[in-house]
Chains A and B, each alone.
Chain A
Amino acid sequence: MSKIQTNVAALACMLAVVLVAMLTAQSKPAGQVPRTADGKPDFSGIWDNPKEPGSRAPATVFDKAKMAPFVPGGEALFYEPRTGDPRHDEPRAFCMPSGFPSAFLGPYPVQLIQTPQYLVMSTEFMNVTRIIPLDGRPHKTDIEPTFYGEPIGRWEGDTLVIEARNYKRWSLDDYYYQNPKEYRMHSEAFRSIERLRRVDADTISYEFTVDDPKIFTKPWSVQWQMKRHPEWEKTGLYEMVCNENNRCEGGKCKQ
């Protein structure tokens, strides 16, 4: 072996060592990400509701800078005027569903339970539960649309992608959206896409995409973050039966 060949070989060895070191460093998570027996990241745990990344501010969906342009007629479909009738304007006051993702954005914990077949997302708020198959099966056709849609999950590496369809036309509000003149709604063409990554032991990076071709010209996304609260596991989620004592339903108080 010539001297040049020896030098090239040595350089190649060094490069290989550096490359292996870099790959190892990249694949090593910042904090231990728990994994299930089948090697997937395990999202199980009790989590705070989604927040703006690096902030305690509650997550919002509708930053106008992030929204895609409207299709013709889309704006009128999206912003529905309030009418003064609380049954129409604030269905939550009658314990009606908040819609998705609004129900998951309020100041209540969310519990995730993961098996190889399903991810269960349950929020204390109104005890809403989503049971999400993880096998990427096709969405059903000819089914009655629902308030919370039909979510189906699939894995893209360590990212869990949840796509939901078959939504009934309903609220697409932020949890705290309180414009007195209007609220926001999606159409029955609404498709939501969530991309969850457990970036460390206590953090989920959560991308939420709105795709509603009857309202927006293209899909658009916002970024959220969820933090784990193991101390809440001692009590678990509390029961919330909204109709137990909804005394001032729609602004009329029972005596």
Chain B
Amino acid sequence: MRTRLVALTLGLLLATTPLLLAHHSFAAEYDSNQPVKVTGTVTRVDWQNPHIWFFVDVKDGQGKVTNWGFSGGPPGVLQRRGISRDSLKTGDTVVVEGFRARDGSNNASGGKVTFPDGRSVFTASNEDKAPR
């Protein structure tokens, strides 16, 4: 219940916050014309500045596994919003939505994370363009 409340609050916060850029420019690193949506298993979470990163193994139709990196908000900003390093754990199955890195690598901003039970956690920084 509390988690749902947190998710709802985060959603509301996000809806009322300007979705713009980053400690640097979002536009300098990510392409808002290349939305990414993948489903996979969390393999690692780097709870570090200036933005958290989490990594997800994604299996394609042929069974080939690719590891994607996703950036979220700064740890301090997320903690103040009630998202802790335990919100995303290795082994979790997640759907991640974001925008691909400009260099075409398997890295992206990862502003929205949805769990199998439907819970959504918005890891976007206030500054990032975030999927709705």
User: A residues near B, CB below 8 A?
Assistant: 56-58, 86, 89-90, 92-95, 106-109, 124-126, 176, 178, 180, 232, 235, 237-242, 244-248, 250-253, 255
Contact = CB atoms under 8 A, between A and B. Distances in A.
Contact of A245 (B25, B49, B76, B80): B49
Interface in B67-124: 69, 71, 74-77, 79-80, 101-103, 105, 107
Interface stretch (B2-10, B14-22, B33-41, B58-66): B14-22
A250 B16 CA distance: 28
Interface of B is mostly: loop
Nearest to B25: A90
A245 B28 contact: no
A191 to B, nearest CB: 27
B132 interface: no
A240 B76 contact: yes
11 contacts: A57-B18, A90-B25, A92-B24, A93-B29, A107-B125, A126-B23, A250-B28, A251-B28, A251-B101, A253-B103, A255-B105
Given A92-B24, A107-B126, A238 B75 contact: yes
B46 A245 contact: yes
Nearest to B16: A56
Contacts of A248: 29-30, 71, 101, 103, 107
A230 B46 CA distance: 29
Given A93-B28, A251-B28, A253-B103, A239 B53 contact: no
Contacts of B27: 178, 180
A152 B27 CA distance: 36
A30 to B, nearest CB: 27
Nearest to B24: A93
A253 B107 contact: yes
Given A180-B27, A250-B28, A107 B50 contact: no
